[in-house]
Structure 1
Amino acid sequence: MRRLIRGLFGRLMLGMIAVSVLAVCVTAVFLYIRFDAINTRFREGTLHSFAVSIAKDVHGVGRKVFATIRPSTMARMEKEGGRFIVLGPSGARLASSAGATDAFVPVEDVPERYFELPKGTGPDTLYGLSLRLPEASPPAYVQVAFPSSDVVFDSVLEEFLQDIAWLWIPFMLLMLATNLLVARIALRPLAQTVEEAGAIQPGGVSVSLSEKGLPDDVLALVRAVNQALKRLREGYRAQEEFSGDMAHELRTPLAVMKAQLAVIDAPYGRVLERELSGMERLVEQLLDRVRLGRFRIEPGDVVDLREVTREAAAFLAPRVVARGRAIEVEAGPTPVLVAGGRDDLFRAVRNLVENALEHAPAGSLISLAVTDRPAIRVVDGGAGFPSVLLDAERRQRGLVRSDRREGVGLGLAIVERTMQVHGGRLDLTNPEAGGACAEMVFPRPASPSLPSRPAAGAA
Structure 2
Amino acid sequence: MRNPIPFFFRVPSLSRRIAWRVGLGVVSLIFVLFAILCVVLWKPEARTIYRDTADDAAQAIDRRGATLVLAPARLPQRLREAPETAWLAAVDDAGHTLTWGKLPAEYRPVVAMLPLLSDSDLRSPDPRLAATLVVAERDWGRLRIIVGGVPEEGVIGLFAPLFYFVGLWMALPVAIVILLLVPWIVRRGLRGIGEVAEQARGVDMNRRSRHLDAAAVPSELKPLIDAFNQALDRIWDAAEARDRFLGNAAHELRLPIAIVRARAAALSAGPSKTSLLSDIVRLENISEQLLDLQRIDRGLIANDTLDLVQVCREVGEDIAPLLVKAGYAFSFDAPAQPVYVSGDVGALQRVVMNLLQNAMTHGGRAGGIELSVSADARISVSDAGPGIAEEEYPQIFSPFYRLNPSAQGSGLGLHLAREVVTRHRGSIRVSRSSQGGARFCVQLPLLRPPARGA
Give the corresponding residue for 1:239: 242
Kept in 2: contact 1:306–1:335 (CA 8 A) = yes
1:436 to 414, 430, 438: 438
**Bigger Rg, structure 1 or 2:** 1
CA distance, structure 1, for counterparts of residue 36 and residue 228 of structure 2: 53
Give the corresponding residue for 2:86: 79
Are the structure 2 counterparts of residues 154 and 257 from structure 1 closer, same or farther at C-alpha, using a change threshold of 3 Å?
Answer: closer
CA RMSD of aligned residues (A): 4.4
Paired residue secondary structure (1:383): coil
Are the structure 2 counterparts of residues 174 and 374 from structure 1 closer, same or farther at C-alpha, using a change threshold of 3 Å?
Answer: farther
CA distance, structure 1, for counterparts of residue 286 and residue 377 of structure 2: 25
Cα distance, 1:5 vs. partner? 7.4
Pairwise mapping of residues 122-133 of structure 1 onto structure 2 (< 5 A)?
none
Kept in 2: contact 1:325–1:366 (CA 8 A) = yes
Paired residue secondary structure (1:369): strand
Kept in 1: contact 2:323–2:330 (CA 8 A) = yes
The C-alpha deviation readout for 1:113-135, integer Å capped at 9, x for no partner, is: xxxxxxxxxxxxxx958xxxxxx
Cα distance, 1:206 vs. partner? 3.8
CA distance, structure 2, for counterparts of residue 373 and residue 177 of structure 1: 53
Pairwise mapping of residues 356-367 of structure 1 onto structure 2 (< 5 A)?
356-367=359-370
Paired residue secondary structure (1:381): coil
* Seq. identity, %: 24
CA distance, structure 1, for counterparts of residue 229 and residue 252 of structure 2: 34
Give the corresponding residue for 1:226: 229
TM-score normalised by length of structure 2: 0.64
Give the corresponding residue for 2:310: 307
Give the corresponding residue for 1:58: none
CA distance, structure 2, for counterparts of residue 258 and residue 13 of structure 1: 68
The C-alpha deviation readout for 1:255-287, integer Å capped at 9, x for no partner, is: 4355456657799xx848855762563254134
Kept in 1: contact 2:429–2:442 (CA 8 A) = yes
Give the corresponding residue for 2:420: 418
Give the corresponding residue for 1:64: none
Are the structure 2 counterparts of residues 224 and 371 from structure 1 closer, same or farther at C-alpha, using a change threshold of 3 Å?
Answer: farther
Kept in 2: contact 1:402–1:412 (CA 8 A) = no
Give the corresponding residue for 1:157: 162
Are the structure 2 counterparts of residues 284 and 402 from structure 1 closer, same or farther at C-alpha, using a change threshold of 3 Å?
Answer: farther
Q: Which amino acid aligns with 2:359?
A: A
Q: Which amino acid aligns with 1:429?
A: S
Kept in 2: contact 1:303–1:339 (CA 8 A) = yes
1:33 to 30, 33, 36: 36
Give the corresponding residue for 1:294: 295
Kept in 1: contact 2:18–2:186 (CA 8 A) = no
CA distance, structure 2, for counterparts of residue 333 and residue 147 of structure 1: 99
Kept in 1: contact 2:323–2:360 (CA 8 A) = yes
Q: Which amino acid aligns with 1:434?
A: G
Between 254-263 and 11-20, report the one with greater CA deviation.
254-263
Are the structure 2 counterparts of residues 146 and 380 from structure 1 closer, same or farther at C-alpha, using a change threshold of 3 Å?
Answer: same
CA distance, structure 2, for counterparts of residue 2 and residue 361 of structure 1: 52
Kept in 1: contact 2:214–2:225 (CA 8 A) = no
Kept in 1: contact 2:364–2:385 (CA 8 A) = yes
Pairwise mapping of residues 266-415 of structure 1 onto structure 2 (< 5 A)?
271=272, 274-275=275-276, 278=279, 281-295=282-296, 296=299, 301-387=304-390, 389-391=392-394, 394=395, 398=399, 400-401=401-402, 403=404, 405-415=407-417
TM-score normalised by length of structure 1: 0.63
CA distance, structure 2, for counterparts of residue 430 and residue 297 of structure 1: 36
The C-alpha deviation readout for 1:349-378, integer Å capped at 9, x for no partner, is: 110111112222445222222234432121
Are the structure 2 counterparts of residues 329 and 214 from structure 1 closer, same or farther at C-alpha, using a change threshold of 3 Å?
Answer: farther
Matched pairs, number = 358
The C-alpha deviation readout for 1:314-365, integer Å capped at 9, x for no partner, is: 1111111222212223322443323221110110011011111222244522
Are the structure 2 counterparts of residues 159 and 248 from structure 1 closer, same or farther at C-alpha, using a change threshold of 3 Å?
Answer: closer
CA distance, structure 1, for counterparts of residue 245 and residue 306 of structure 2: 31
Are the structure 2 counterparts of residues 399 and 28 from structure 1 closer, same or farther at C-alpha, using a change threshold of 3 Å?
Answer: farther
Are the structure 2 counterparts of residues 162 and 339 from structure 1 closer, same or farther at C-alpha, using a change threshold of 3 Å?
Answer: same
CA distance, structure 2, for counterparts of residue 213 and residue 450 of structure 1: 48
Cα distance, 1:428 vs. partner? 1.2
Give the corresponding residue for 2:172: 167
Paired residue secondary structure (2:13): helix
CA distance, structure 1, for counterparts of residue 185 and residue 413 of structure 2: 52
Cα distance, 1:158 vs. partner? 5.1
Is residue 12 from structure 1 mapped to residue 15 from structure 2 by the alignment? yes
Are the structure 2 counterparts of residues 334 and 369 from structure 1 closer, same or farther at C-alpha, using a change threshold of 3 Å?
Answer: same
Kept in 2: contact 1:401–1:413 (CA 8 A) = no
Are the structure 2 counterparts of residues 386 and 150 from structure 1 closer, same or farther at C-alpha, using a change threshold of 3 Å?
Answer: closer
Kept in 2: contact 1:361–1:381 (CA 8 A) = yes
Give the corresponding residue for 2:142: none
Are the structure 2 counterparts of residues 353 and 388 from structure 1 closer, same or farther at C-alpha, using a change threshold of 3 Å?
Answer: same
Cα distance, 1:254 vs. partner? 4.3
Give the corresponding residue for 1:148: 153
Are the structure 2 counterparts of residues 153 and 289 from structure 1 closer, same or farther at C-alpha, using a change threshold of 3 Å?
Answer: same
